[in-house]
Amino acid sequence: MLTVGLTGGIGSGKSTVARRLRDAGAVVVDADAIAREVLEVGGDGLRRVVERFGGRVLAADGSLDRAALAGVVFDDEQARRDLEAITHPLIAARTQENVDAAPEDAVVVHDVPLLVEKRMGGRYHLVVVVEAPAQTRVRRLVGRGLTESDAQARMSHQASDAARREAADVVLDNSGDEEDLLRRVDAVWNDRIVPYAENLRAGRFHRRPTPVVSPYDPRWQQQAARLVDRLSHVLGERAPEIEHVGSTSVPGMAGKDVVDIQVGVRDLRDADDPAFVAALAAAGFPRVEDYRMDHPTDAMPDPSLWVKRFHGSCDPGRVAHVHVRELSSAGWQYALLFRDWLRGDPAAREEYTRIKEDLAEAHESNAAYAAAKEPWFNEAWPRMQTWARRTGWHD
């Protein structure tokens, strides 16, 4: 089951996107609808809300007066926390019921207005954010009956556009008309969501077909941060440390458009626990069984020091490699030292970039490209150690 978190600021067009995804075949779980459902007449949620806030939040017919409740909690942090303590567990339980009721091969879209504010991104395979300029959103909200000041006040209580972009795997621009937005939704569905779901079902990770060295992309840092968040959510205490490594972790340096993440475990046997492997596979990171070794250096030739486990990502929109290594093993330390050396030594960055560009041009396959780089890695190891001693580096 592929899960997609869908969010966007009020007036952004998120509901339009949700309807389009439902029409395409997704199971949409609407957080707002569930929030209304758990406070219906006769339910435990409404009873507890009235106990806390009194009859002033009830309409004449005994139902919840949502405007009155909003007025009570809007500028009262404690009141808002009390309301959330009542509603959030009920909403979470009902949400899980809806997800569990979906077919195993479904794409489940969770429509959540406060996904970014609640730091929920790590729960999903993908996060899709619908975005529109603030003035456009205000105009839409005024068209729905809000005053301009009310619209701006509601927007001010939500996450910023920058925070949403940081959380987003996909940003859908809704500054144009609805037809343009729907075209963008269809493209994301067909080009990313559906192939991702197919890869997930097949346990197949997405590969870069050829070793192309790309200019540095500042988005690599945010993409890696989202991957780390997802892996942390899935693995918890089983992975005490998770790091962004490889070329994409070095600001300003060109590299293959592949994000490398290093997962540290206390004992490599933990990575072979079936529950560990299954958790990563369900999260979109299937195990690649025939890739279990880093290349030893001449200084440390014992192969047992370089054993690891490897997982790839099913996401066709973000190629990623997950290297699971024992904390403080040779492979763990090498990956961190290599990253930090390149970050701290401009000449080393330039040299490595030149090596990568030359080898990518000379080799058509990723395997041949990787093998051709190994002699340089071996030659660079003493220089890395010298830099580590000079700077006082430690992992």
Binding site, annotated residues for ATP: 11-16
177 secondary structure, DSSP code: -
* Annotated binding-site members: 11-16
The sheet carrying 170-173 orders its strands as 27-30, 107-111, 2-8, 126-131, 170-173
Of 227, 208, 225, give the one whose Cα is nearest residue 284: 227
Q: Measuring CA to CA, how many Å separate 171 from each of 101, 131, 207, 378?
A: 28, 7, 23, 41
* Contacts with 92 (C-beta within 8 Å, 6 or more apart), sequence order: none
Please give the Cα distance from 205 to 317 (Å, whole number).
11
Contacts within 8 Å (CB) and 24+ apart, 30-38? 30/111, 31/91, 31/95, 31/110, 31/111, 31/112, 31/113, 31/114, 32/111, 32/113, 34/91, 34/94, 34/95, 34/98, 35/87, 35/91, 37/94, 38/87, 38/90, 38/91, 38/94
The angle at the Cα of 106, spanning 237 to 31, to the nearest 5 degrees, equals 70
CA 150 to chain centre: 32
Helix (H) or strand (E) holding 260: strand 259-265
Give buried/exposed letters for 286-313 (b at 16+ CB in 10 A, else e). Answer: bbeeeeeebebbeeeeeeebbbbbbbbb
Helices (H), 9-160: 14-24, 31-37, 44-53, 66-73, 77-101, 134-143, 148-156
